Amino acid sequence: MTSETTKLQAKLATLNVSLDELETQLEPLFAKSLPETVVGLETIQQAKLQVLLPYLVYDLVFIYLKSRGIDPRTHPVIAELDRVRQYFDKVKGAEQSDEKKKYGIDKAAAGRFIKHAIAQAKDIRPPVDATEGAASTSASTSNVHVPVTITSKMAERAEYERKLKEEDSGEGGEDLQVFDEASPATPDEEPVAETKEKNAGLKRRRPRIDPFTGRFFIPSTL
């Protein structure tokens, strides 16, 4: 019995301390009416206060029933407490949605800002000279390095062309000879012009008459 009495006294002391703290916190609300207190608050804060006050009243009724030895589960106050708890959930959901709206990004507005910034950047961009554009294009194309793949057929053809060039250069060096003086004509060869003149002289020469025989004879040129 002594232990149970001690526990009950400890609980009563804790309850008295809690009630004193509650009375201290409720003093600003008792100083003026509820509409005057709510008017200076934001919407979400007004909803919290108007839900918290009835829950506090029903909770005090629950404590009073317990102190009087009455089972609160048989009293209608339990249903009222459950009903008020639903409003706590609704207020919490509304507060979270407000925070999302506050920190969320308006996609439509962001898209308009981006399009406007792009349009301004296009207007400010300086015009590019045609010659500079062509020069930059040619420079970019000239700097492009395309690797060349040498196949076996290409290597054989290059070797074949190299050998042909070497043979042509060797034959050209042997055939090319320079003669400073004209080579003397051989005794058997006669100039073509002289032969023609001799033949022409023979044709023009008339045959002579032998004085002894009276016949024509052709003198020997030997």
* Contact assessment for residue 42 and residue 94, using Cβ atoms and an 8 Å cutoff: no
How large is the C-alpha radius of gyration of the chain?
66
Cα(76)–Cα(34) distance, rounded to whole angstroms?
26
Q: If phi over 0 gives left and psi between -120 and 50 gives alpha, with beta otherwise, what is residue 69?
A: left
SS3 188: coil
Q: How far is CA 161 from the centre of its chain?
A: 48
Backbone angles phi, psi at 209, to 5 degrees: -105, 130
From first to last of its 222 residues, what are the pLDDT tens digits of the chain? 578 888 888 988 998 899 899 889 888 888 888 888 888 888 888 888 889 999 999 999 998 998 888 888 889 999 999 999 999 888 888 888 766 666 656 677 777 778 777 777 766 655 555 455 555 555 555 555 556 677 777 888 888 888 888 877 665 545 445 444 444 444 444 444 455 555 545 455 555 555 555 555 555 544
* Contact assessment for residue 65 and residue 77, using Cβ atoms and an 8 Å cutoff: yes
Q: How far is CA 197 from the centre of its chain?
A: 97
Beta strands in 13-91 (DSSP E): none
